Structure 1
């Protein structure tokens, strides 16, 4: 019995000892410079709270002209900035569109200032200069010194609660500024309404309703201070202080509540030198009561270091799902930072009791699943969700359950396209929820009603009112003179239709299979053999005149040009290659894509395209090209895939703030890096195969949720040895350039034999 008790006691210690410290390799500042659009602040895996610094104030000038850069500040933070405005609680990671930035808090000393000031003159407001020398960003922890106020700011978080710790100098004039007017995507009068209520001398509740990218979004909060404030105040849009509606009470001092569009509040303290004021700030999608319960349940104490430690333990548990040994420390940093970014979203969207606001704006409660939001599906269907099917299968099942709840609540009966916070943004094209669902079904990761999910996919794909689908179903393509981005939409619909067909085939729904496998060949209807490119057609069936293969405007494409989108038939690369002139001609076409020189006019054509993320005319910073390097595997020169993916890994990912060659897009860029580093990639999600590339790791162990381990090893691995001579799976030769999903999930060992010379036979 004593031995048994000792074994039980030592078990968690033994399990902990098996975990390696991969936290040390995660650098959240990667991607915070230029176009990466990541944030450096504190969060836990898939957390509701993303507590992070803001370095810009998105606001209006006196003449009403917007004076911020909403695209540049999608994540609220830019590494090149010299001042911090404050710390807010919600952020997107790596998106190309902005929203959120809710509930800005800023500690200050000296005379009270309620305006943020400017980057050039921070002394005119509450913002502060800072230095990267005094900044630390780690998983679940952020620290910075606010130079103008001599305050040390530290942040950590749980899933639903942000935890602030501010170390003040001695002051009789210390303040906590609470600015509900601040936010990202703040033009067009984003705030609809805000409400703040002082519950007692240390507890504040309220909500913020906004009309930004999400048309209507309400977030509730509960805020608790570690010590009572000595005084507080409110200010509204008209610069009236303590102004209420009916004036039946004395509102001249410490009035307990206020409502309006543009509310700011402040809380005053006396502080000793080195004294810490801590703030727990909880969010809820449902109510202030829910926020209070979340706060009490997740952080019932005031031990900041404990919350930081537990948050980092959560991160280390997730990072240990893949144990990698790399050639260099830089590659180790790139890999684990990519895993970190891949596990930031989608984000948890429900209270601890399962309550959340649905797409119908009613309150719902989950049954046996975690509800998620932030679905950037045009990006993440390609690699992020397939990665989850490997490493986070239970979470991916819950994400699909969340999509199905969205569908049930949709008056359009549509699966999500780009959704967050109980809103559908209708951003980008396709109906790529079906790709995510099909990929899970095909890979036997479906604990949901697969037939009901298939019905939802079919209903979505037959919706004649959605984005040109009526033309697509009737004509087999979308006419550019009737609906823009017509080529891109036709191609992406055809791929999604193939996904539906694969799911229907597996479920024995032959009538649906026949309908959608036929639709999946609609890509042929926009291929122009005279030019060799996918090209936009008009309603009368003729090709649109003025074709320009390099142009990104008016040609029928979105976030790409004819070169990029003519390669988008992931469901049938072999047939696409044959259609485009055969393997030899297609190989030369691919070679030209990577080697060509783009004219300056190409970059001047749109503000959205810079030289970041571009190799020749291959645009790694935009997702339609993410599978392209793997297409050589369907030609007579598959070794070129190995050469190209290693080149992309080297040039597009670096362990520096500007180390991402484009928006991380909610983890898609990072998921590409992870797959490619391991040596394979899901060219066509909805298939059970991965396409072989060239691993950059020395070795890797995938700890699968089913309890099995899949190991990857390399022989003769080096920076120069990028070519694969042979591959062995469980000691037997792997023929061809495809790896089955089941081969991974069954556990085993994959060995790559590397060389500096390509195997051309």
Structure 2
């Protein structure tokens, strides 16, 4: 069984302006704080990377706690070293490849425990600075470390005090999982070439089982000597040029390390050492660290310039910039400069000229807001991602993407939500060969003999009975509803591929959510194979069996699962008794006691009543009031969530950022709208947080969002104008927004119940108006 993302790990500050960027800062580009999310359970990292870059060069403080899935946690007192790959905001840890430790004194080959840094090569630290594309810290050994990056290379600059020093390269460094009986690293090697280039690779069986990483590393100064260490930290014979094993290391000694800084540049590749070396040659043909830093900061200045805001508080502007930064970290580049990458069939493939392959698709999370946000601010990137998802869908033995990481389909979470960004892009007019993905999508949808991972268990029963029975498959209630949503998305792709009969079948099957929502009680509820419902039912509980893997909901309880439906809102409203009954149920959802059972996962966080903002399943729920003509309740709730769930401090994200999903929710909601159903290509209005926002929406067009009369105590929309004309709807289409123009909200301290009340003004759902 593939556990959920938390079970897999159980037990175990300002943008520096560069020349030419000063004008952008004065136009309202706020400065992100990269430490936001590095505390609490945000699971972000503060190190150097580029937007969607392959390399994430960042400090690691610990690898033995769920809090350090990214390798870093704010407040830890020591740094182990700097590794080249990291995950941002995930609920499972992996990566942390090619750890580099600059230090002085006796050689220590183990990091030692967090509680006792003196026992190993850990170092206390001070004067930590993190900016987009750049990181700096002072280590207790006297070393000043700086980091920056290109897309595929990490750059280090170390300044040492007088005297001898050494740099450790540790290929045994990784996120630990003490429950695994087999070695997490089953092969690794290091070597030094005649030109001094150090190369190496390892195979890791952590989360992405069997993934490989290769690297090529060069130094600006030749070390006095290089010593290799094999398994058990056995020192290799003097003069050894290579070492192989499971946990291998190398120490680069400098008899006198002071003087000119030592610069390291390291290229990585998932394909082979040849690819890593080629990436290094292509992106590291000089030793000018500051040149790389300026280029990295320039790339980030452009990316962050996509949205400029004025108004709000200084902290809110910082949160906005930090969220926009975090929403552009993943998916991560995965193809080498020659176009090669490892496909989900584990074979080496090559993208067409001008194309790119990506990894780190946290699709259970990011289909909701990250991908929709990118369709607004980075349509060219979306085109690149869509082309890649189509290719990888065709290559994967499982079909639609679920949670691919480093060429491995982890199958984490439930459903096959890779169909959603594809259907969304198709609905929004992004040209691509969607038909090329259809055969693989059809297999996942209709071929019940096709190989399963846990994410797609019970497909046959779902098709035959109309739901996944709770006495046959765990997390059955959530599965039924999420499979139904994927059917809805896939029906659009079937139609685009000319498979009209399949489109009809999928559209019909997308109504299966009804079979796990009991209209008699107005709640999603476990249902058994004989058709009976679980009794006695309590919506606060997680399911009908005590073992965690038999919970009936995915990181949710009965309350939260009741509102999972994103694509057939009017069907759900009718199923639950009409507008008044549905509105009352929403009221109860947001006002119920915020109690949870003892066995609830910590992912259910950020409670407002039983709504949990710290996790993804219900992040659209506050916007559902618009569908019953009460958008003023959405406005009040969204403003509350924007101000209570996000803060400009390390613990400022209420739950895991999940590759930018929590952040993207903030960005879109702060602009004043949110995609309840991304495939519908429409956005439901909330309450804009800032007085004015300017959004670059591609092709030189600009969207301006104004909130006249806005203020902390004025969250209610009185009226809306679009492109100078009155707008009575409580929503707007993607096609309208990307035209550019001014979306003007007039705000007030009291609700205007008339706005958006008329049925003709309510948002569309299931391809139909209210």
Q: Give the structure-2-normalised TM-score.
A: 0.91
- After alignment, is 12-21 or 232-241 more displaced? 12-21
Query: Which among 142, 146, 167 is matched to residue 150 of structure 1?
Result: 142
Identify if the C-alpha distance between structure 1 residues 506 and 112 changes in structure 2 by more than 3 Å, giving closer, same or farther: closer
Deviations 1:669-703 (A, max 9, x none): 11111110111100001112111111001111221
Identify if the C-alpha distance between structure 1 residues 353 and 21 changes in structure 2 by more than 3 Å, giving closer, same or farther: farther
- Who is 1:441 aligned against? 426
Alpha-carbon shift at residue 572 of structure 1 (Å): 1.6
Alpha-carbon shift at residue 13 of structure 1 (Å): 9.9
Query: Which among 474, 495, 503 is matched to residue 485 of structure 2?
Result: 495
Query: Which among 27, 52, 59 is matched to residue 58 of structure 2?
Result: 52
- Who is 2:766 aligned against? none
Alpha-carbon shift at residue 451 of structure 1 (Å): 2.6
The 5-angstrom pairing of residues 477-496 of structure 1 reads 477-496=467-486
- After alignment, is 547-556 or 725-734 more displaced? 547-556
SS at match of 2:387: helix
Deviations 1:361-406 (A, max 9, x none): 2221100311111111100111111111111222222222222222
SS at match of 1:625: coil
Alignment partner of 1:461 is 2:467: no
The gaps in structure 2 that reach 5 residues or longer are 1-17, 545-550, 755-770
The 5-angstrom pairing of residues 255-266 of structure 1 reads 255-266=240-251
- Who is 2:190 aligned against? 196
Q: In 1, are the aligned partners of 2:21 and 2:298 still within 8 Å (CA)?
A: no
In structure 1, distance between residues paired with 2:430 and 2:274: 36
Alignment partner of 1:300 is 2:285: yes
The 5-angstrom pairing of residues 73-88 of structure 1 reads 73-88=68-83
SS at match of 1:686: helix
- Who is 1:361 aligned against? 346
Q: In 1, are the aligned partners of 2:29 and 2:308 still within 8 Å (CA)?
A: no
Identify if the C-alpha distance between structure 1 residues 419 and 441 changes in structure 2 by more than 3 Å, giving closer, same or farther: same
The 5-angstrom pairing of residues 401-480 of structure 1 reads 401-412=387-398, 414-446=399-431, 448-465=432-449, 466=452, 467-480=457-470
The 5-angstrom pairing of residues 551-590 of structure 1 reads 551-554=541-544, 556-590=552-586
SS at match of 2:216: strand
In structure 1, distance between residues paired with 2:212 and 2:147: 24
SS at match of 2:53: coil
- Who is 1:206 aligned against? 200
- After alignment, is 253-262 or 534-543 more displaced? 534-543
- Who is 2:6 aligned against? none
Q: In 2, are the aligned partners of 1:393 and 1:705 still within 8 Å (CA)?
A: yes
Q: In 1, are the aligned partners of 2:394 and 2:436 still within 8 Å (CA)?
A: no
Identify if the C-alpha distance between structure 1 residues 410 and 607 changes in structure 2 by more than 3 Å, giving closer, same or farther: closer
SS at match of 2:255: strand
Alpha-carbon shift at residue 74 of structure 1 (Å): 0.7
SS at match of 2:691: strand
Alpha-carbon shift at residue 582 of structure 1 (Å): 2.1
In structure 2, distance between residues paired with 1:279 and 1:598: 51
Alignment partner of 1:549 is 2:534: no
SS at match of 1:624: coil
In structure 2, distance between residues paired with 1:510 and 1:754: 46
- After alignment, is 370-379 or 463-472 more displaced? 463-472
Alpha-carbon shift at residue 504 of structure 1 (Å): 4.3
Alignment partner of 1:512 is 2:502: yes
- Who is 1:632 aligned against? 625
In structure 2, distance between residues paired with 1:182 and 1:457: 38
RMSD (Å), alpha carbons: 1.9
Q: In 2, are the aligned partners of 1:237 and 1:263 still within 8 Å (CA)?
A: yes
The gaps in structure 1 that reach 5 residues or longer are 1-11, 59-67, 243-251
Alpha-carbon shift at residue 313 of structure 1 (Å): 0.2
Aligned pair count?
721
Identify if the C-alpha distance between structure 1 residues 584 and 454 changes in structure 2 by more than 3 Å, giving closer, same or farther: same
- Who is 1:650 aligned against? 643
The 5-angstrom pairing of residues 638-717 of structure 1 reads 638-717=631-710
In structure 2, distance between residues paired with 1:454 and 1:445: 17
Deviations 1:53-82 (A, max 9, x none): 1111x4xxxxxxxxx22x221100011210
SS at match of 1:130: strand
Alpha-carbon shift at residue 157 of structure 1 (Å): 0.5
Q: In 2, are the aligned partners of 1:584 and 1:636 still within 8 Å (CA)?
A: no
